[in-house]
Amino acid sequence: MSAPPAAADGLAIDVQGLNKHFGDKHVVQDLSMRARRGEILGFLGPNGSGKTTSIRMMCGLLTPDSGSGTCLGYDIRTQSDQIKRRVGYMTQRFSFWEDLSIRENLDFVARMYEMPSRREAVDRAIENLNLTARATQLAGSLSGGWKQRLALAACMLHQPELLLLDEPTAGVDPKARREFWEELHELAARRISILVSTHYMDEAERCHKLAYISYGRLMAQGTAEEIIAAQELATWSVSGGDIRDIAARLQGQPGVEQIAAFGSALHVTGRDGAALEAALRQVTEGTDACIEPADTGLEDVFIHLMDKSADNFRTRQ
């Protein structure tokens, strides 16, 4: 065992300038990220933006091409053994053994971490899962939601200090998702740090902090409010009148960057507030529609960021 990490109660994740190429694809570019202990950090970004690669570099499953950093105070390049013992990593795809039963999977994990009171820990985990009656069922025969709960239980078994969860709730029904998030908040309250990647906006809003990554680049980081404020977007709500017609006519107007329908209203977003307002007034003039300023939502910001990074990406090509 090496010396205890210096930042014992400071940062759970602290990485600077991480880069990773696969062939000639630059998957992660200059990624710098920090997460404090006991914090739930939401990791967002479109598909293929480098979230999984970043997470794998943080827990030592991939070696970064350049850059450095620590995870729980241990160097991600040289001390991955220490990191592995203290981190629970839940893979995007169910990666436990489908031909082993629930109990056998948990028992295997407990043995891998050399847990002193293995049997008790496994029993407790099965009890918490409410699966005592089905403990001998093969993991492969479980439904998606149950697999996800089993995976979480398995990567929690050795009481890690940091959880890395890669899209843990993909394909899970809303009730199970809510229960899952309640569990995450309970864990955070016990000073367990959590990095969770997700596509769901409601989940993003439940995180303490957010990081948004696109095309391998970190586009924004902070609390939801900070991220929204930093983009300085103006949003207007349009309601009443022929919304579809208005939406069509707004398309391509100066200042109008995003148009999204929310029920019977339109949310129109742009960086230039004055131009946006002018465009809206012009288009809605003489119609029944009424316009009013609205709050910019996280989703508006993320779509804006995604477009922005796509533009960056194209100009670099």
Q: Return the sign of the alpha-carbon dihedral for residues 71, 74, 77, 83.
A: negative
The phi, psi pair for 154, rounded to 5°, reads: -70, -40
Nearest to 151, CA basis, from 129, 136, 134: 129
Q: Any contact of residue 200 with another protein (CB under 8 A)?
A: no
Work out how close the CB of 119 gets to another protein at its nearest, in angstroms, rounded to a whole number: 13
Stretch that binds another protein, among 53-61, 231-239, 278-286, 299-307 (CB under 8 A): 53-61
Does 134 participate in binding another protein (rule CB under 8 A)?
A: no
> φ and ψ at 22, to 5 degrees?
-120, 110
Find, among 138, 144, 108, 142, the residue nearest to 125 by Cα: 108
Considering CB under 8 A, how many residues would be counted as binding another protein?
A: 30
Q: Minimum CB separation from another protein for residue 15, in Å?
A: 16
With respect to another protein, which residue has the nearer C-beta, 98 or 127?
A: 98
Nearest Cα to 216, choosing from 11, 12, 17, 14?
Answer: 17
C-alpha span between 281 and 29 (Å, rounded) = 41
Question: Position 1: which residue type?
Answer: M
Least Å from the CB of residue 111 to another protein: 3
Task: Work out which of 112, 230, 261, 290 binds another protein, going by CB under 8 A.
Answer: 112
Closest to another protein by CB, 20 or 304: 20
**Residue closer to another protein (CB basis): 149 or 206:** 149
C-beta closer to another protein: residue 195 or 279: 195
With H, G, I as helix, E, B as strand and everything else as coil, classify residue 228.
helix
117 binds another protein (CB under 8 A): no
Coil, strand or helix: which one is 107? helix
Q: Is 89 in the site for another protein (CB under 8 A)?
A: yes
Q: Report if residue 111 touches another protein, rule: CB under 8 A.
A: yes
With CA atoms as reference, report the closest residue to 131 among 116, 113, 143.
143
In 3D, which of 13, 5, 57 has the Cα closest to residue 193?
Answer: 13
Give me the least distance between CB of 86 and another protein, in Å please: 10
Q: Which of 32, 36, 79, 100 binds another protein (CB under 8 A)?
A: 100
According to the binding rule CB under 8 A, does residue 136 interact with another protein?
Answer: no
Residue 56 touching another protein (CB under 8 A): yes
Is residue 157 a contact residue for another protein (CB under 8 A)?
no
Q: How far is the CB of 84 from another protein (least distance, A)?
A: 5
Cα 90 to the chain's mean position, in Å?
Answer: 13
Min dist. Cβ of residue 164 to another protein (A): 9
Choose the stretch contacting another protein; rule: CB under 8 A; options: 80-88, 127-135, 176-184, 191-199. Answer: 80-88
Specify the DSSP element, H or E, that contains 19: strand 11-22
Is residue 63 at the binding interface for another protein, with CB under 8 A as the rule? yes
Give the whole-angstrom CA distance, residue 20 versus residue 216: 9
Residue 135 to residue 27: CA distance in whole angstroms: 40
Angle at which helix 298-316 crosses helix 224-231, to 10 degrees, equals 60
Binding residues for another protein, rule: CB under 8 A, are 56, 59-63, 80-81, 84-85, 87, 89, 91, 93-100, 104, 107-109, 111-114, 138
